Each structure stands twice: as structure tokens, then as C-alpha cells.
Structure 1
Amino acid sequence: MKTIADIAVAAGVSKSTVSRVLNHRPGVNPQARARIQAIIDESHFTANMAAKNLKARHSDMVGVIVPLMTSKSVASFIHGMSAELESQHIQMLLMNTGMSTEKASDYVKILNSKGVDGMIVLVAGYDQQLIETLGGSQSPVVVVGQDLSMHQIPSVFYDDYRCGYMAGQQLLEQGCKRLLFLGISPMDVALGRQRRRGFEDALSMAGVQCHYVSDCVLFAESGMEKTRQVLAQGYIPDGIFGVTDRIAAGAAKAMTQAGIIPGQQVAIIGVGDDELCELLTPPLASVHYDHSEVGRQAAQVLFEAITGRTTERYAHIHQGHFHWRASCQLSES
């Protein structure tokens, strides 16, 4: 048998049903699937994938755009995405923006020109140009890490306001009176704005002091250097919230070098629950985020869009939970 039509006639089914079996897609009766597969195997049929994809106008390929290849959280996102996409026999084409929103916009256009079935875009920051590019994409798009649902762009993201609020509550419960917030640029709405806003709201009724830093970058060295600068200005915090574990880890090192002991004289909290948390002394308390699960759901949402099973739900929100460790305590007042 040379064609899908030949197999369809032999099996007594439509060509589209044969195509579903060849592409390992759902929607075929198990008995019919077994009958079709037996005919395919007996006839040694091999589909011409390039011609098939051109005719069907799908590539079994999705683009995945990430802001930073060296990030542990990005690696976890990709792990979850790839496992889900592989289960649907879909391949990934990975592209790295280096934290550039301009590159993200360019890559969306490039992926559209390559005819990918869809895209998953991990967004560290965004501007109007990127929003318009994502909204105008010819292929379905799912955003991860930021909430662009108000622009009718499906988004899978964390409740970062709640994350900041939780961290503030935990430090206040330890009796902290002089707090330090270590954040990143507000260009990143999730980490830079929402986590700070939640933290500020937790503190607003408590009457405690807080020094806010909003220009860290996503490395431990940045958290260490910014904390050193704050200490040099004469502000000695007894509670620190870093919007990532690495920033918090850098702050912990700076405090230790200054003779201020984390877990005794200063309580410190990060976000992400990175494996490094257990390697620090004392271990770092953190808001736990399941990055792999978020990546898996993003792939599911995209697959639904590709197969035409979209809904009016654009926001897919994940909650974190607080993982207490010894850095989040004060033994001296």
C-alpha cells in the first residue's frame, strides 16, 4: 500500500483517522487504531513526513523562547515542557533571548516564518512591542512567568503578589523590625513589581522599617554586593527578603562576612526552593515553586490550542508554599 488513502480503504475508515494513528494523536477508537496499525505494519508503510506536514499545515514542532539558559528555574520549566511535548510526539526548537525583549519579539516572528505549530515564551520582562507581537502571532502562543491574560494571551504564572506577602508575614512573625528587600527591575512585573507589592502590603500595618533595593540582577553576586552597599550606608537589617534564592544567598554571605549571623541575628528568605538552599549554612528558607509542573501545564495549554480545544480561560495561576528552614529565625533581639 502506497498511500494513506489505500490504508483507509483497507481499514474501512477515513483518511483523517489513518492520519491520527500515524501521528499518534487521540480521538481514535482503540479497536480501529489496532486494525489500522496492523495494516500499516503489514504493508511496511512509511509516511512522507515532509509532504504530509506541508499538506496538513503542521510541523509537529513548537518553539520555546527562554530569557536565560543558565537559570535553574528555566531548566526545570524546560524539563516539564519537554516531557509533556514528547508524550504528544512534538519536538522543541529552543531559542535564548539573553533577557532581551527585543530579541523575544524577533524570535516570535522568526518562529512564525518557520511554520511552527505553536510557541511557549518564558517572559522575564515585557513591553508594548512584545505584547503586540505575541498577540499578533500566526501560531498559538502560551506565555510562562508573567500574566498577559488581560491581553487575551494564555498565561501560566505564579501568584507573585502572594509570594511577597507570605515572605513579609514570615519575617514579621520572627519579630524582625528592620527589613531589607532585594528585588530586580520593575521591567519584570512578576519578580520586580508583584513580589515587592505583596511584601510592602504585608509590612504596611506593622510599623516596621524597610530599605528597598530594586536593581539587583539574577545572580548571587548581585545580592551580595547590594547588601554590602546597604550595610556600608549604616542600615543593619534583621530580616531580608530576596526575590530569588540566589539573591538571598548572596545577601546571606554579605551578612556573614560582616559578622552578622543568618538564622540568629538576621532572618533571610528567598524564592524558588533551589537545591542550593540545603547547601547553605544555615539552610535557606524559601517560597517553593514547582517549575517543572508549570512547564508541563504550559505545554498542555499550548497543545489544546494547537488542536483547536481552546477555551476562554487565559489565566492559569499556580500558588507557591513556604518552606521553612533555619535561616528564617532570630535567636537574638
Structure 2
Amino acid sequence: MRALSRVRTQEKSATIKDVARVAGVSFSTVSRVVNNSKPVDEPTRQRVMQAIAELRYVPNSLARGLQTRRSRCLGMMLPEIGSSGAAKFLEGAESYAREAGYTMLLMTTAADTARELECFSIMRQQQIDGVLWTAATYTDAHREWQQHHTLPMVVLAQDFSPYGLPSVLVDNYHAAYDAAEHLIGHGHRRIAMITGDLNDRAVGLARFQGFEDALAAHGLTVAPDLVVRGDVSAHGRDIASRGSGYAAMAQLMAHQPTAVLAASDNLAIGAMQYLIEQGRSIPGDVSIMGFDDLDIAAHPMLRLSTVAFDFHDLGVLAARTLIELLHGEAATAPVQLSPYRLVLRDTVRRL
């Protein structure tokens, strides 16, 4: 019986008090090292870490969460995960969160308001510390939920700062302005645009307004028959979005544009497919420029000129903003814009 008792004692998991005793420090010092809550000098931290390794101490995250009222888990709400940009964004946010000691719960919403509100409630029930929300619209239902519940969040892809929500998005307006100026600078005057949803103020409308203002700055007007709406998201399916670009290009060719600015690479690729099937040359007959710089844009068969956003870095920026918010640090600005750059390949020619 004594031998069995000794075995059980040996198998008993080490506690934080055991770590403190072996390291020769206080219980609170071990807690600060484990939770990374307050600075600890490096020699002391090393002694604590060595004791943790020797004792094979595993922090009890559930107990720690009950004490701190923090789960060390973040929520991520995306409309879908089927697009290339969404995957890179998720990778960036998750990697930063992991390095900061957070895990991440992912939920998809299909950009549906009822589903978004359901996700908010589930994450609150799961005691998620905060949420990264890739939003489309802010409705009365969202406002009512926010008034009655507390859930820290950072909004992605939209500017919801007027509603008190820190927002992280790409600089769509200036990116489209510069892309249009590039086409104008190459001598193009009949420039068409395959837009996104113009009800989407931060993306679809911002890109169209940048395009429109660039033309106006050069004394050009946007011809109504040279603007066709495409489906940028197409429910997250790259192939479906390309089909939308294909159909838009078929409509535009009746009006003979010399260049087309597409609101996404997938729309641009669909437009290119139509032109190729019609025996048209790119850029000989029509120049094409896209948005996003997806991996496929650099394929030797495409070499698409486009506007590049670093979706991985955008995810990092969003996660960092949320974690700083959780630690009581004010956001650098209500709206943070991720930079862009033009990537000039082979689909635009000078007239």
C-alpha cells in the first residue's frame, strides 16, 4: 500500500507552488512568467523556465482563465475561407495571435447578418476574449446587439469606426486611383471598369470612386456603358468570380474599351479568358489590370498587372490591434490602412 501511495505521489502533476519552490521564487513571480503579465528580470525568468521544464509543469489554462477572466482565445469571423486572400489573412492573424499566447476559434458567416449575430453570441458564451470580424454591412440588428452585449472586436475590410469599432482595411481608394492613372499614363482614354458591389462602401465603392476621380483629374469622364458590375466575392469561390468577370467582359466589348480595370484579380482573369476565346490579344487589343495580386496572377500564362495587398500582413495588423485593445492600449487610429503597391507585368501596353 505504501509503495502504491509513493507511485501515486510521483505521478501527481506538478503545481505552480512546486515550480516556485524549485526556482526559489514566489508564487506570484511564477504566475507573472507563465502569464507574461508583468516584466521579470531575465535570470529569474530563466530559473522559472528551467523549473517548469524539470517538473514538466503544465499550466492549467482553465484555472488561469477563471482567475483572470481571460480565455486567451480570440474569435475570427470570415464570410468564407475559400478564397486565396482569406487563407493568407487567416494565416497572418493566427500566427501573430499564437506568438502572443492566444489560440483562435474560426467561424464562417456567409456575410449573413443572422449568422453573424449567432456567431457573436456563441463566442460570448465561449468566453472568447475578442473578435476579428470581417464585415460587410452594419445593420440596426448589429447596433442593437452591440448596445446590449460587451464583446471587444476589430472590424476588417470595412470602416465601422463611426460605430465605435476599430477598423483595419486596405487603402482601396488610392490603390484604384493609382491603377487608373497608370492606364491613363499609357495613353488609354476609353477605360472600362468591372466593379464590385457599389453598396460595399469600403471596397466596391471606394475602388470605383478612386477610378472615377483619377479619370476626372485628367479631364476624362466615366462612360456609363464602360462600367459593369462584377461579383468580387462570388461567395468566396474563385472560379465563380472569374465567371462573373467573363460575363462582364462580354458585355463591355460591344463598346470597345482599350483598357479594363477589374476590381479583383479573379474578375480580371475571367475577362482575359473571354478575350482569349474571342481571339483577342492581351494587351495588343485590350489592356487588363486587376486587384489583389493573387498567386495565380504571376503565372507565366497570365503575367497579370495588378494592385498588390499583403493579406498576411493585414491579418497580423488586425490581430495586433485587437490584442493591444484587450491589453488596454488605444488603437493607433480609429481606422488603420494597410499599404498597397502596383505590380506591373505584361497585360498593359502603351498606346
2:229 and 2:248 in contact (8 A); partners too:
no
Q: Does the C-alpha gap of structure 1 residues 125 and 265 become closer, same or farther in structure 2, counting only changes over 3 Å?
A: farther
Give me the TM-score of the superposition, normalised by structure 1.
Answer: 0.89
Q: CA deviation at 1:253?
A: 1.4
**In 2, Cα distance between equivalents of 1:131 and 1:258:** 49
Length, aligned pairs only: 328
Q: Is 1:54 matched up with 2:66?
A: yes
Q: Does the C-alpha gap of structure 1 residues 185 and 70 become closer, same or farther in structure 2, counting only changes over 3 Å?
A: same
Q: CA deviation at 1:87?
A: 0.8
Q: 2:286 aligns to what?
A: 266
1:11 and 1:39 in contact (8 A); partners too:
no
Q: 1:97 aligns with which of 109, 114, 127?
A: 109
Q: Is 1:71 matched up with 2:91?
A: no
Amino acid in the other structure paired with 2:220: G
Name the structure with the higher helix share: 2
**In 1, Cα distance between equivalents of 2:191 and 2:311:** 28
Q: 2:231 aligns to what?
A: 216
How do 1:1-333 residues align onto structure 2 when only pairs under 5 Å count? 3-4=15-16, 7-8=19-20, 11-13=24-26, 15=28, 17-24=29-36, 27-130=39-142, 133=145, 138-205=150-217, 206-210=219-223, 211-218=226-233, 219-231=241-253, 234-279=254-299, 281-311=301-331, 313-330=333-350
1:164 and 1:196 in contact (8 A); partners too:
yes
Q: CA deviation at 1:84?
A: 0.7
What secondary structure does 1:84 align onto? helix
The CA deviation string for residues 182-234 of structure 1, in whole angstroms up to 9 with x for no partner, is 11212322221100001000011432553212343431110101211233xx2
Amino acid in the other structure paired with 1:127: T
Q: CA deviation at 1:66?
A: 0.7
1:178 and 1:208 in contact (8 A); partners too:
no
What secondary structure does 1:322 align onto? strand
**In 2, Cα distance between equivalents of 1:220 and 1:136:** 41
Q: CA deviation at 1:306?
A: 1.9
Q: 2:7 aligns to what?
A: none
Give me the TM-score of the superposition, normalised by structure 2.
Answer: 0.85
RMSD: 2.4
1:63 and 1:111 in contact (8 A); partners too:
yes
**In 1, Cα distance between equivalents of 2:143 and 2:267:** 28
Q: CA deviation at 1:8?
A: 4.9
- More off after superposition, 52-61 vs 70-79: 52-61
Highest Rg: 1 or 2?
2
1:63 and 1:116 in contact (8 A); partners too:
yes
What secondary structure does 1:177 align onto? coil
Query: Which runs of 5 or more structure 2 residues have no equivalent in the other structure?
Result: 1-12, 234-240
**In 2, Cα distance between equivalents of 1:33 and 1:181:** 58
Query: Which runs of 5 or more structure 1 residues have no equivalent in the other structure?
Result: none
Q: Does the C-alpha gap of structure 1 residues 256 and 330 become closer, same or farther in structure 2, counting only changes over 3 Å?
A: farther
- More off after superposition, 65-74 vs 148-157: 148-157
1:63 and 1:120 in contact (8 A); partners too:
yes
1:273 and 1:289 in contact (8 A); partners too:
yes
1:263 and 1:330 in contact (8 A); partners too:
no
**In 2, Cα distance between equivalents of 1:163 and 1:186:** 16
Q: 2:9 aligns to what?
A: none
